[in-house]
Amino acid sequence: MILLTLSLVLGVAGAQRLRVTRVPRFVVDSLHRTASLLAVTFLLVHILTAVLDSYASISLTDAIIPFVGSYRPLWLGLGATAFDLLIAITITSLARLSLGLRVWRAVHWLAYACWPIALVHALGTGTDVPSTWMLAIGGACLLAVLGAVGARAFAERQRHPRSARAAVATAIGFTVALALWLPGGPLGPQWARRSGTPAPLLHSAAGRLAADHAVEPA
Amino acid sequence: MTRQLKVNPITCQAHGLCAELLPELIALDEWGYPIITDEPVPAALQTMAKRAVSVCPTLALTLSQRAPRSPPSRSP
Amino acid sequence: MRVQEQPQLLPRLLAGLSTPGRVDLDAHLDQHGELPTLVRYRGRSRASSALDEIERAGLLGRGGAAFPTAAKMRAVAGRRRAPVVVANGCEGEPTSRKDRLLLERLPHLVLDGAAVAAAAIGAREVFVCIDHGAVRARTALEHAVRERRQYADRSMSVRIVGVPGGYVCSQESALVQFLNGGPAKPTIVPVYERGVAGRPTLVDNVETLAHIALIARHGAEWFRGLGSPAHPGSTLLTVGGAVLRPGVYELDPAMTVAELVDAAGGVREAVDAVLIGGYAGAWLKAPQSRSLHLSHEPLAAAGASLGPGLLYLLDSDTCGIAEIASVARWMSDQTAQQCGPCVNGLAAIAQQLEAIVAGRADRDAARRIERWCTLVPRRGACAHPDGTTRFVSTGLHTFEHELADHIAHGPCELCLGPRRLPVPRPQPVAVAA
């Protein structure tokens, strides 16, 4: 999540031609590419460990095709969606010279969709969401992205006023929806059960699930 | 094989990354637009030239396979 | 607009213009004879013979670039897909009148030429592009097309298209992009490779096509009977400014500026400078220009170019610097707004010139303009910045005394007067309040 955030912020910095003393723009571009590729790598590790860890019975298919799994299907499916988007973005970026600017750009804009989907996935499937450090990291990432999107929209407000307004509206709407959802959702009682964790796993006494608020079934 | 750097003046948006990577062959004018040498790219700079082409945010920079032919006419 | 026939000028294109109005098909055929029927140019050997004839004639394009027409045609004909012919009659240059004349009064010459060019390269479609406000030209063309219907090759279509009137809109790739449904702005795709509907496209000025119409009838030898080996055939030239009889003249390129000015009735009043080639052309001091021959090589040697055939005499009653500033501002406004060096460079030049006229310039102003004039050419998608910078830098050399005077002392009394050089949109007088 951190790497994705970093990648997005660097991408916006490049597009906005941000000039930092002694940091050439091709370095900003290079950092963006590096952060993105690192994000993909960590993501692959994340997926592999989730799949290999037989505890939650997540198959490889579940990781790529959204919403077909048995473990928290909606929230996991979002992760698969984000993964698919990221793969598309990565492949088109690697093949940018052959594909041409228009195709590359059309797919690359999906990054703005990929990030919030990844965040909601993390919040929905994460086992440590209510903990302070998770919330702090998530909050910081959200602020960074809101800042980047805001800066981009502000800079483009004259050339593309409608898109800029839509972007700001969407960002604010997303944040508000998040704020409304979190207390009753992942931060609320029995989230593990409500999010679709299969019943056998709920009764696990190993405490790997966020069972802090789970109530023993009557 | 001689290779020639060319910029598409319509898609170029003066990001300037090419000049950062290849100052030996590309300079920027006072508005940030590239001034590219007419000379073919020397062998030692070929790799960097390819990187400059790849890094251009608008894909305006190209590395042609041979020295450019002037087109029949650019005027009415 | 008046057309002159002088005994020493051999009217070729402009023969038969004694009656006013459009020359209809019968009068056209009376004057020039039948066009060798197109069927003779069908088939590869015949098609190539028409191309060969044009090549032997050495015809150079009359739209301003003076590119060898046959070479252009070969480049288009040599591609795989069926080509398209575009007749360029837009004439975006404000001081030019010759294309207008051809379209309004001699449309059959243009249409003959287009038909021959199409047959020679294997094209079945002709687009005649005119300014969208050119009502007379459109009417004349439509009448002419109707008259030709009975003789016309049914498999060849002729379409008349109105184009926005901007200066760069009539550039050949801009025309092609417009015909493809896009804006009338230049592109970097060579039109002989991929033009209208992606097909190889031949774009020729209407005067070039008119010459082709006569070469097809009379042959290459006849065509080369006038002019020089490097600049054969006759040329149409618009003479404007301080002459008694401004208008379109057809002349032998061996003619000198002085001879042409005499043919145009001589100067109306004192003239210090002449502009050859229009707003993309070059200024010369009047005395130096008198003995110049109006053909490509001598003009190039003098740092000038014929452009689309333009000679303008600026009378001494106006301020040369203010005129240059006015046109430079107009040319800056006329850019397609696509290429950084052109958009920024021409704007900077115009702004600096206006500052000079207003008396706000510093001592480095002239040097700054000169630097921009060397920085900007050949870095755009078309030749617009090249033309404007040549116009400005030759102008500042020609009016060097006035330039120094303005930088030192501000506007002169002639700055306040009305501008002579036409700039189609209203321009504020370039003097600070």
What does the pLDDT look like over B49-65, one tens digit per residue?
999 999 999 999 999 87
* CB spacing of C63 vs B32 below 8 angstroms: no
A128 φ/ψ angles, rounded to the nearest 5 degrees? -120, 25
Contact assessment for residue C327 and residue C423, using Cβ atoms and an 8 Å cutoff = yes
Task: Kindly report, residue by residue over B1-39, the tens digit of the pLDDT.
Answer: 678 999 999 999 999 999 999 999 999 999 999 999 888
Q: Hunting for tokens 């003779």 — which residue is that? A: C40
Contact yes or no, A with C (3+ CB pairs under 8 Å): no
Min Cα distance C306 → chain B (Å) is 13
Would you state the pLDDT for residue C152? 64
Beta strand C84-89 pairing with C157-163 = unpaired
Q: Is C347 on the interface with B (CB under 8 A)?
A: no
Task: Kindly report, residue by residue over C261-299, the tens digit of the pLDDT.
Answer: 999 999 988 899 999 999 999 999 999 999 999 999 999
Closest C-alpha to C223, from C357, C53, C355:
C53
Nearest chain B residue to C167 by CA distance is B76
Distance CA A191, CA C265 (A): 98
Min Cα distance A34 → chain B (Å) is 13
Residues of B in contact with C339 (CB under 8 A): 9-10, 12
Count interface pairs B-C at CB distance under 8 A.
73
Contact assessment for residue C250 and residue C17, using Cβ atoms and an 8 Å cutoff = no
Map chain A to HEC letters. CHHHHHHHHHHHHHHCCCCECCECHHHHHHHHHHHHHHHHHHHHHHHHHHHHCHHHCCCHHHHHCCCCCCCCHHHHHHHHHHHHHHHHHHHHHHCHHHHCHHHHHHHHCCHHHHHHHHHHHHHHHCCCCCCHHHHHHHHHHHHHHHHHHHHHHHHCCCCCHHHHHHHHHHHHHHHHHHHHHHHHCCCCCCHHHHCCCCHHHHCCCCCCCCCCCCCCCC
Would you state the pLDDT for residue A210? 47
Would you state the pLDDT for residue C426? 46
C125 SS3 class: strand
pLDDT above 60: residue B73:
no
C172 φ/ψ angles, rounded to the nearest 5 degrees? -65, -40
Would you state the pLDDT for residue C378? 93
Closest C-alpha to C334, from C427, C202, C243, C241:
C427
Would you state the pLDDT for residue A21? 64
Would you state the pLDDT for residue C45? 53
Min Cα distance B17 → chain A (Å) is 5
Closest C-alpha to C124, from C23, C42, C211:
C42
Block means of pLDDT (10 residues each) for chain C, 433 residues, are 40 82 87 68 58 93 93 92 95 94 94 92 94 93 89 79 92 96 94 94 97 91 89 94 94 92 90 94 93 92 91 92 96 95 96 93 92 95 95 95 90 89 62 36
Distance CA C71, CA C52 (A): 10
* CB spacing of B54 vs A96 below 8 angstroms: yes
Q: What percent of chain A has pLDDT over 90?
A: 7
Contact assessment for residue C395 and residue C283, using Cβ atoms and an 8 Å cutoff = yes
∠ CA C68-C182-C62, rounded to 5°: 20
∠ CA A36-A38-A41, rounded to 5°: 115
pLDDT above 80: residue B47:
yes
- Chains in contact with chain C (at least 3 beta-carbon pairs closer than 8 A): B
* CB spacing of A101 vs B11 below 8 angstroms: yes
Would you state the pLDDT for residue C117? 93
Which DSSP symbol is given to B25? T
Would you state the pLDDT for residue C428? 35
Q: Which residues pair with C313 in a beta bridge?
A: C241, C274
Residue C29: both structure tokens together: 């055929």
* CB spacing of B59 vs A25 below 8 angstroms: no
Q: Which residues pair with C275 in a beta bridge?
A: C283, C312
* CB spacing of A97 vs B17 below 8 angstroms: no
Residues 85-124 of C with CB under 8 A from B: 88, 90, 92
- Mean pLDDT on A159-185: 85
- Mean pLDDT on A97-119: 89
Task: Kindly report, residue by residue over A6-64, the tens digit of the pLDDT.
Answer: 888 888 887 777 666 677 888 888 889 998 899 889 888 888 888 887 666 777 777 78
Min Cα distance C64 → chain B (Å) is 6
Beta strand C271-276 pairing with C310-315 = antiparallel
- Mean pLDDT on A104-126: 87
Q: Is B37 on the interface with A (CB under 8 A)?
A: no
Domain edges within chain A = 2-197
- Say how far residue C193 (Cα) sits from the centre of its chain: 23
C82 SS3 class: coil
Distance CA C91, CA C163 (A): 10
* CB spacing of B59 vs A17 below 8 angstroms: no
Closest C-alpha to B13, from B36, B32, B40, B26:
B32
Identify the sign of the CA torsion C101, C106, C111, C116.
negative
Interface test with C, best of B38, B70, B74 (most C CBs within 10 A): B74
Would you state the pLDDT for residue A203? 64
Residue C184 neighbours by CB under 8 Å, 6+ apart: C163, C164, C166, C168, C169, C174, C175, C177, C178
Helices C25-32 + C206-223 axis angle, to 10: 20
- Chains in contact with chain B (at least 3 beta-carbon pairs closer than 8 A): A, C
Q: Which residues pair with C157 in a beta bridge?
A: C125
Closest C-alpha to C168, from C243, C97, C94, C92:
C92
A195 φ/ψ angles, rounded to the nearest 5 degrees? -85, 0
- Mean pLDDT on A99-124: 88
Would you state the pLDDT for residue A55? 66
pLDDT above 80: residue A206:
no
DSSP C328-371: HHHHHHTS-S--HHHHHHHHHHHHHHHHHHHT---TTHHHHHHH
Distance CA A63, CA B67 (A): 50
Min Cα distance A14 → chain B (Å) is 9
Phi-psi map region of C410: left, alpha, beta (phi>0 left; psi -120 to 50 alpha): left
